[in-house]
Amino acid sequence: MVQSSVPLCNTCGEQVGLNDNGEVFVACHECNFPICKDCFEHEINEDHRVCMRCGTPYEERTKEEDDFHEIKVHENEDDDFHEIKVHENQSATPSEISNSQDVGLHARHVSTVSAVDSEVNEESGKSIWKNRVESWKGKDKKNKKKKSAPKEEKEASIPPEQQMEETRPAEAAAAPLSVVIPMSKSKIAPYRTVIIMRLIILGLFFHYRVTNPVESAFPLWLTSIICEIWFAFSWVLDQFPKWSPINRQTFIDNLSARFEREGEPNELAAVDFFVSTVDPLKEPPLITANTVLSILAVDYPVDKVSCYVSDDGAAMLTFESLVETADFARKWVPFCKKFSIEPRAPEFYFSQKIDYLKDKVQPSFVKERRAMKRDYEEYKVRVNAMVAKAQKTPEEGWTMQDGTPWPGNNSRDHPGMIQVFLGHTGARDIEGNELPRLVYVSREKRPGYQHHKKAGAENALVRVSAVLTNAPFILNLDCDHYVNNSKAVREAMCFLMDPEVGRDVCYVQFPQRFDGIDRSDRYANRNTVFFDVNMKGLDGIQGPVYVGTGCVFNRQALYGYSPPSMPSVPRSSCCCFPSKKSTNDVSDFQRNAKREELEAAIFNLKELDNYDEHERSMLISQMSFEKTFGLSTVFIESTLMENGGVPESADPSMLIKEAIHVISCGYEEKTLWGKEIGWIYGSVTEDILSGFKMQCRGWKSIYCMPLRPAFKGSAPINLSDRLHQVLRWALGSIEIFLSRHCPLWYGFSGGRLKWLQRMAYINTIVYPFTSLPLIAYCSLPAICLLTGKFIIPTLSNVASVLFLGLFLSIIITSVLELRWSGVSIEDLWRNEQFWVIGGVSAHLFAVFQGLLKMLAGVDTNFTVTAKAAEDSEFGELYLVKWTTLLIPPTTLIVVNMVGVVAGFSDALNGGYESWGPLFGKVFFAFWVIFHLYPFLKGLMGRQNRTPTIVILWSVLLASVFSLIWVKINPFVNTVDSETIAETCIAIDC
């Protein structure tokens, strides 16, 4: 039995062994560098007599030890050294170590090696390890070539002394790629203190409210109490996940120094970009083309970048625009890289209102920029001509240039289509340099199959990219989100390729930033509070939520595997009371175990001389991987390659055929796609659900906020489109709430999701229900003004102190939040306003539509929001489109205005004493009106062009409401006829 206390050899990964005295073998007494007997004897035999870590000569050992080594070397000099596997997990179990000799040589990926190990292996031990590999060559050179690290394959064999002189200092190799910057105590300590104080004041406030009912208006009082309790609950869910906000800083120069050393192969990880589009008439091809061009020109090694464009509408317009885009990219990409321009989306670069000559030193820049702008204008004319032509579809359908019908004429019934425009073997730019790969993908669609909208399209891209390029990381973007910072991918790699940080990171999320929004941001399109406050808070727990775009994924996390640091054995439940919570742990454990077994089995199978494809397919089928990933051996084998790359067993001439196979409409049947792997189905907000599933497995995410925004998009600044966008998000939250993936009960097994993180996810699914108490609370001021009643009794001194303390705590919390986040008070106020606007309109409709969909099976369809204005800079801001979402907030505004007028009228008739009670009622009415003011302003439009039907419906509802209230008025004490008669007699009427 191997002793667990014996350290592992840093060279081969086996136990270092014991000497004749039964003590742990030590090669160097200066630094105790762990090296086993066999490796040490090989060092002496190869005349390498210095320690790989400290450089101390081994000759300083005692005479007895030297004699011992001479004897051992003599005994083993004719032995056949076997290749061994170096495990990625340094704390490998004895069983793994004992079985490691049968699976070949694996060099550890750089993202899984500690800083100390990388320093030793990459510096003084570099040539020594190379010589050892040369002397330990096995019988199969092909396997050796596959499993050895690229750096070790191509590294020249030179003396260690010269190697140490030529390499950079050890400090540069161990320099951090990123650091966490916690909030200073002077900012966060007062913030936390006020949160606790506010929580205490809330408790005292509710004690007063509950113990002091308003008998004269009991229904109004009870309604207000229920609403206030729900608001307090929502505040707790939103506030406490922001308990430990953090900032992060990246060091791109250190990333280049570690992975892009001069004279050596570039070791940066490859990245597959995903761009999704559906309808080119609502998502203009020119916007999509700018996103693609910004990706192709990104500051990253060309051979490491591949761009996949998913056309889920199978539109020939999208295909033809990509043809033009690929041709224009041959000019645009070298221009961007030559002059280091930002941003690298031509439409947004040429529209910048800044000095474009700043920091430019090459005299030819002005001339080339003028020529490039002219070329881009000509390119825009060609694309716009295509758009104009596509406005009316011919009766016989679209025809391609060669005369054949376009396969996607029926967008709901067409075969899968793939076209590689650019790539390593494709066309080059005008300077003869390679361009990144550009691939057009349109998955197959047939009637009777569920296609799962965007989530299904993203999963199809995952499989296609795995077959064609299989980059270890995936960056997905919406078609209207272009790369604004050409070094954005490097920013993400500072986390994902960091051996100390990136091991358990499932994705790196960037904030969303937008163009085309007016300075005042009337409808809170920027979502600044969410991206600059809430997401920073989540980054201090288990990581930010996935927001659907601008996110770099670890491909292995999408495949449903658990993070490497998770314990391999799931928790066992009590034998007397077995728990169902361990089911997810067991499934994760079994999937990870199957993966390791299949990887080893496939490798052993390839060493057979008569190995063929049929045997590999049978093996994969026996391991039940087809039930998880589908019937594609090429794809399944690609899932085993943690460092990416196309499997060597795959036939290059058959890759396109295999890619067509994996995007067939029936490929996902009877698999775990959309259930446990890939983008998760079951909600229109598949982003929240997918990120939640990953973090339930124990993965963590990271929030990256570079100084220059990484990506920018076009926000739907139109009021109607903005409300429909919010409606879609809220409906997705309702779907998750009513599904088995609800954070209230899902993912408790293993305790992998932290409680504050779970609280944040609960907040993301219950916030639409706030619309019910919100619309009731916004109606209360008008009811109080019309009836003369109020929800609060006459205030005592204690009650006044509680109300004052509550308002002050709310204000101070907001001020301190602004202090540590850097958000402006205007952004906070706009967010507060649109919380009310969206709550009484889009969120309300989402609750009812979600209940109808999940409980009654009545589905609702959503149109894609428009992405760009056409008339003027902010033309769409003043455009009002008819939608039922406009009715509830308009009605609330009218009712509260009517209530204010009625309240002042009663005060004038009631004399001086009635003005005091009027103040509280009018205060709450104006609170509603001020919060709905942006909606009112947007409704009026630039030239007061409010849709007539909106005004008619709102006035009608307000009138009916007022008349019914005057007729019924349940909050006024009823008086019978006898009481009236007695009163009349008493006053002698």
* 303 annotated to a ligand binding site: no
Instruction: Kindly give the pairing relationship between strand 417-422 and strand 437-442.
Output: antiparallel
pLDDT of residue 16: 74
The answer to whether 828 touches 814, Cβ cutoff 8 Å, is yes
Whose tokens are 């997905």? That residue is: 476
Residue 294 belongs to what H/E stretch? helix 285-296
Residue 987 is assigned to a structural domain of this protein: no
Enclosing domain of residue 287:
268-554+671-714
**Strand, coil or helix: what is 272?**
strand
Q: Are residues 201 and 291 in the same domain?
A: no
687 is catalytic: yes
**Strand, coil or helix: what is 22?**
coil
Of the two residues 162 and 849, the one the predictor is more confident about is 849
Q: Are residues 778 and 791 in the same domain?
A: yes
Alpha-carbon dihedral sign for residues 561, 567, 568, 574: negative
- Structurally, the chain folds into a number of domains equal to 3
Of the two residues 936 and 295, the one the predictor is more confident about is 295
Q: Reply yes or no on whether the pLDDT at 579 is more than 50.
A: no
Spatial distance between the Cα atoms of 481 and 380, rounded to a whole number of angstroms: 19
Structure tokens at 3: 């002793």
DSSP states of 569-625 = SPPPPPSSS--GGGHHHHHHHHHHHHHHHHHHHHHHHHTSTT--HHHHHHHHHHTT-
pLDDT digits (tens, 9 = 90+) for 837-885: 899 988 999 898 888 877 776 665 544 454 443 444 555 555 556 677 8
**Strand, coil or helix: what is 804?**
helix
Residue 11: give its domain's CATH number.
3.30.40.10
| Residue 225 φ/ψ, nearest 5 degrees | -65, -45
Q: Reply yes or no on whether the pLDDT at 544 is more than 90.
A: yes
pLDDT of residue 289: 94
Q: Are residues 681 and 732 in the same domain?
A: no
What is the mean pLDDT of the segment spanning 541-559? 93
| Residue 823 φ/ψ, nearest 5 degrees | -75, 145
pLDDT of residue 465: 93
The answer to whether 616 touches 635, Cβ cutoff 8 Å, is no
Confidence of residue 467 (pLDDT cuts 50, 70, 90): very high
pLDDT of residue 975: 46
pLDDT of residue 913: 63
pLDDT digits (tens, 9 = 90+) for 63-106: 344 443 333 333 333 333 333 233 333 333 333 333 333 322 22
**Strand, coil or helix: what is 553?**
strand
Long-range contacts from 335-341, C-beta under 8 angstroms, 24+ separation: 335/368, 335/369, 335/372, 336/297, 336/486, 337/297, 337/299, 338/368, 339/365, 339/368, 339/369, 340/486
**Strand, coil or helix: what is 480?**
coil
Structure tokens at 202: 């809330």
Confidence of residue 596 (pLDDT cuts 50, 70, 90): low
Q: Are residues 403 and 295 in the same domain?
A: yes
Q: Are residues 737 and 700 in the same domain?
A: no
pLDDT digits (tens, 9 = 90+) for 616-670: 666 666 567 788 888 888 888 888 888 888 877 777 878 889 899 999 988 988 8
Last residue of a domain, one of 697, 714, 731: 714
pLDDT digits (tens, 9 = 90+) for 748-804: 877 788 999 999 999 999 999 999 999 999 998 888 888 878 787 776 778 888 888
Return the axis-axis angle of helices 655-662 and 453-468, rounded to nearest 10°: 160
Eight-state DSSP code of residue 530 = I
Whose tokens are 């000569």? That residue is: 57
Alpha helices (H) along 675-824 = 686-696, 719-737, 755-766, 771-787, 797-821
Contacts of 151 (CB under 8 A, 6+ apart): 122, 264, 265, 267
- Tell how many helices (H) and how many strands (E) occur in the chain: 38, 13
Q: Are residues 782 and 922 in the same domain?
A: yes
* 606 annotated to a ligand binding site: no
* 454 annotated to a ligand binding site: yes
The answer to whether 203 touches 236, Cβ cutoff 8 Å, is no
**Strand, coil or helix: what is 57?**
strand
Give the CA distances from residue 468 to residues 455, 459, 650, in Å, rounded to whole numbers and listed in that order.
Answer: 20, 15, 10
First vs last Cα of the chain: how many Å apart?
110
Structure tokens at 247: 């900032």
Contacts of 458 (CB under 8 A, 6+ apart): 274, 276, 310, 476, 678, 679, 686
pLDDT digits (tens, 9 = 90+) for 270-292: 999 999 999 888 888 999 999 99
pLDDT of residue 586: 52
**Strand, coil or helix: what is 627?**
helix
Residue 775 is assigned to a structural domain of this protein: yes
Q: Are residues 888 and 765 in the same domain?
A: yes
pLDDT digits (tens, 9 = 90+) for 336-395: 999 999 999 999 999 888 777 777 777 888 899 999 999 999 999 999 999 999 888 888
Q: Are residues 700 and 738 in the same domain?
A: no
What is the mean pLDDT of the segment spanning 437-447? 93
Query: Which among 604, 504, 540 has a CA at the least distance from the CA of 83?
Result: 604
* 216 annotated to a ligand binding site: no
Spatial distance between the Cα atoms of 331 and 681, rounded to a whole number of angstroms: 40
Exactly one of 532, 687, 721, 827 is catalytic; which is it? 687
Query: Which among 778, 701, 782 has a CA at the least distance from the CA of 966?
Result: 782
Long-range contacts from 795-802, C-beta under 8 angstroms, 24+ separation: 798/208, 799/208, 799/212, 802/201, 802/204, 802/205, 802/208
Instruction: Estimate to the nearest angstrom the gap between the alpha carbon of 364 and the chain centroid.
Output: 41
Structure tokens at 730: 């809220």
User: pTM score, two decimals?
Assistant: 0.75
Residue 660 is assigned to a structural domain of this protein: no
* 413 annotated to a ligand binding site: no
pLDDT of residue 79: 39
Confidence of residue 402 (pLDDT cuts 50, 70, 90): confident
Residue 291: give its domain's CATH number.
3.90.550.10
Q: Are residues 498 and 428 in the same domain?
A: yes
pLDDT of residue 499: 86
Alpha-carbon dihedral sign for residues 728, 732, 733, 738: positive
Of the two residues 548 and 789, the one the predictor is more confident about is 548
pLDDT of residue 618: 64
Last residue of a domain, one of 714, 740, 773: 714
pLDDT of residue 270: 94
Spatial distance between the Cα atoms of 690 and 677, rounded to a whole number of angstroms: 9
Counted residue by residue, the chain has a size of 989
Spatial distance between the Cα atoms of 896 and 781, rounded to a whole number of angstroms: 7
**Strand, coil or helix: what is 269?**
coil
Residue 139 is assigned to a structural domain of this protein: no
Residue 301 is assigned to a structural domain of this protein: yes
- Name beta bridge partners: 439: 308, 420
279 is catalytic: no
Spatial distance between the Cα atoms of 220 and 921, rounded to a whole number of angstroms: 13
What is the mean pLDDT of the segment spanning 124-151? 39
What is the mean pLDDT of the segment spanning 525-542? 92
pLDDT digits (tens, 9 = 90+) for 211-232: 888 888 888 889 999 999 999 9
Q: Please state which of the ranges 11-25, 550-564, 942-956 shows the lowest mean pLDDT.
A: 942-956
Spatial distance between the Cα atoms of 261 and 173, rounded to a whole number of angstroms: 11
Residue 739 is assigned to a structural domain of this protein: yes
Q: Reply yes or no on whether the pLDDT at 300 is more than 90.
A: yes
Q: What is the mean pLDDT of the chain?
A: 77
Exactly one of 38, 311, 312, 429 is catalytic; which is it? 312
pLDDT of residue 616: 62
Q: Are residues 288 and 432 in the same domain?
A: yes
Q: Please state which of the ranges 167-181, 681-695, 858-872, 972-986 shows the lowest mean pLDDT.
A: 972-986
SS (H, E, C) 345-409: CHHHHHCCCCCCCCCCCCCCHHHHHHHHHHHHHHHHHHHHHHHHHCCCCCCCCCECCCCCECCCC
Q: Reply yes or no on whether the pLDDT at 739 is more than 80.
A: yes
Give the CA distances from residue 214 to residues 220, 783, 811, 886, 917, in Å, rounded to whole numbers and listed in that order.
Answer: 8, 15, 28, 34, 14
Q: Are residues 330 and 237 in the same domain?
A: no
pLDDT digits (tens, 9 = 90+) for 905-955: 777 776 666 666 677 778 888 888 888 887 777 666 544 455 555 556 566
* 98 annotated to a ligand binding site: no
Q: Reply yes or no on whether the pLDDT at 490 is more than 70.
A: yes
**Strand, coil or helix: what is 265?**
coil
Of the two residues 24 and 603, the one the predictor is more confident about is 24
Q: Reply yes or no on whether the pLDDT at 735 is more than 70.
A: yes
Residue 870 is assigned to a structural domain of this protein: yes
* 627 annotated to a ligand binding site: no
Neighbours of 495 (CB within 10 A): 21
Spatial distance between the Cα atoms of 167 and 156, rounded to a whole number of angstroms: 13
Spatial distance between the Cα atoms of 932 and 354, rounded to a whole number of angstroms: 36
Contacts of 511 (CB under 8 A, 6+ apart): 531, 532, 535, 550, 703, 705, 709, 710
Neighbours of 698 (CB within 10 A): 21
Alpha-carbon dihedral sign for residues 818, 819, 820, 826: positive
Q: Are residues 329 and 370 in the same domain?
A: yes
Residue 948 is assigned to a structural domain of this protein: no
Q: Please state which of the ranges 154-163, 370-379, 546-555, 740-749 shows the lowest mean pLDDT.
A: 154-163
Neighbours of 765 (CB within 10 A): 26
Structure tokens at 667: 């490929």
